[in-house]
């Protein structure tokens, strides 16, 4: 069974080379996140002032920062934190959004309308500003970046799940499940949700890139992650001070890491959407 699924996936990926590359990129990112800290050539936190602000060289592939720390090592180590923030934020909003949206779409009526209003209010906010305010309100910690990113993503998942469930609430197999004595809660959780999950998984992959950018943006303005923790956004912020004196590597390499990570997730999401629903291709 698993072998057949695997073969089928491989067959699909052969027809979509770009998606295959993106999938490989995501796998590589995850591997780096897991094993990165144990394979880096230098300590990402120990400073060595005699080597400060060195341009990229054979010894330091991505140069060194103002404290002489190896930028390449810091980049590799940062992968884990950046991925954990993005994945957990998107995971939280996915689970909450799917359940809330599905119940609203199934129940309709007053509950649906008031949640819809709440979602409208959320979407009328400048979302990045909302995230900023929430991190400031909850306390300047990494967990709160996760929570803030999860909350600003929530409206999109609620809407998505609501719409998907709403069109299916009265189709034949749902009627059949109800007729055979399933409770409403069980109809939603065991019948409707599994049916909208594939479409939502695509949404999730597209969303991960956005979550990475969002978290990096927050730490860039000084919220959440504190130095000397290696994280891509804060590395750019620290490098920003040296850009007008020509130390490009402190900004360019963390920027490149961010770009590649977001690109992989976006391409994977696009590819998955094309495979699930070829009509959506643009």
Partner 1 sequence: MKGFGVTVLRAARRFMSSLPALFGVLVFTFLLMRVLPGDPAVFFASGPNAGKEEIEVIRKQMGLDKPVPEQLLLYLYDVGRGNLGRSLMTGQAVTKDLRERLPASLELTLTALLIALVSAVPLGVLAALKPGSFVDHGVRLFCALGVCVPTFVSGLLLIYVFYYLLGLAPDPTGRIDVFTSLPPSRTGFLMIDFLLAGDLDGWWAAFRQLILPAATMALFVIAPLARITRASMLVSLGSDFVRTARSVGLSGWHIVVTYALRNAILPVITIAGIVFSTMLGANVLVEKVYSWPGVASYALDALLSSDYAPVQGFVLLMASVFVVVNLLVDVLYGIADPRVSI
Point out which residues bind partner 1 (CB under 8 A): 117-118, 120-121, 124-130, 132-134, 136-139, 209, 213, 216-217, 220-222, 233, 236-237, 239-240, 243-246, 248, 251-252, 254-255, 258-260, 262-263, 266-267, 282
Question: Cβ(60)–Cβ(70) under 8 Å?
Answer: yes
Rank residues 107 and 252 by Cβ distance to partner 1 and give the closer one. 252
Q: How far is CA 102 from CA 54, 107, 125, 161, in A?
A: 54, 8, 24, 5
CB of 222 to partner 1, least distance (A): 7
- Token readout for 10 is 């491989």
Min CB(129)–partner 1 separation in Å: 5
Nearer to partner 1, 157 or 232 (CB): 232
Coil vs helix vs strand at 5: helix
Q: Residue 22 Cβ, how far from partner 1 at the closest point, in Å? A: 10
Say how far residue 172 (Cα) sits from the centre of its chain: 35
- Return the number of the residue (135 or 165) whose C-beta is nearest partner 1: 135
- 273/239 Cα distance (integer angstroms): 37
Judge contact between 93 and 104, C-beta under 8 A.
no
d(CA 227, CA 89): 22
**CB closer to partner 1 out of 44 and 269:** 269
The residue (of 118 and 191) whose beta carbon lies closer to partner 1 is 118
* Cβ atoms of 210 and 266 closer than 8 Å: no
Shortest separation between residue 118's beta carbon and partner 1, angstroms? 7
Q: Least Å distance between CB 274 and partner 1?
A: 13
């Amino acid at each position: 069974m698993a072998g057949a699924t695997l073969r089928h996936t491989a067959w699909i990926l052969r027809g979509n080379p770009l998606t295959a590359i993106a999938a490989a990129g995501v796998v590589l990112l995850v591997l780096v996140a897991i094993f990165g800290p144990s394979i880096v050539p230098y300590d990402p936190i120990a400073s060595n002032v005699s080597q400060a602000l060195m341009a990229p060289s054979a010894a330091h592939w991505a140069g060194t920062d103002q404290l002489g720390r190896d930028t390449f090592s810091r980049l590799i180590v940062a992968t884990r934190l950046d991925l954990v923030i993005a994945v957990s934020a998107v995971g939280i909003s996915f689970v909450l959004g799917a359940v809330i949206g599905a119940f609203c779409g199934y129940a309709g009526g007053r509950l649906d309308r008031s949640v819809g209003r709440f979602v409208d209010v959320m979407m009328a906010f400048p979302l990045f500003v909302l995230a900023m305010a929430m991190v400031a309100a909850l306390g300047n910690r990494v967990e709160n970046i996760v929570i803030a990113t999860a909350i600003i993503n929530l409206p999109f998942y609620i809407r998505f799940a609501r719409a998907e469930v709403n069109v299916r609430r009265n189709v034949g197999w749902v009627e059949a499940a109800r007729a055979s004595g399933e409770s409403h809660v069980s109809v939603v959780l065991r019948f409707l949700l599994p049916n909208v999950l594939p479409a939502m998984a695509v949404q999730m992959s597209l969303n991960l890139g956005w979550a990475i950018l969002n978290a990096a943006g927050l730490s860039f303005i000084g919220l959440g992650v504190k130095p000397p923790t290696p994280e891509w956004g804060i590395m750019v912020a620290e490098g920003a001070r040296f850009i007008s004196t020509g130390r490009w590597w402190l900004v360019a390499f963390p920027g490149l890491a961010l770009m590649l990570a977001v690109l992989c997730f976006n391409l994977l999401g696009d590819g998955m959407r094309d495979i699930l629903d070829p009509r959506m291709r643009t």
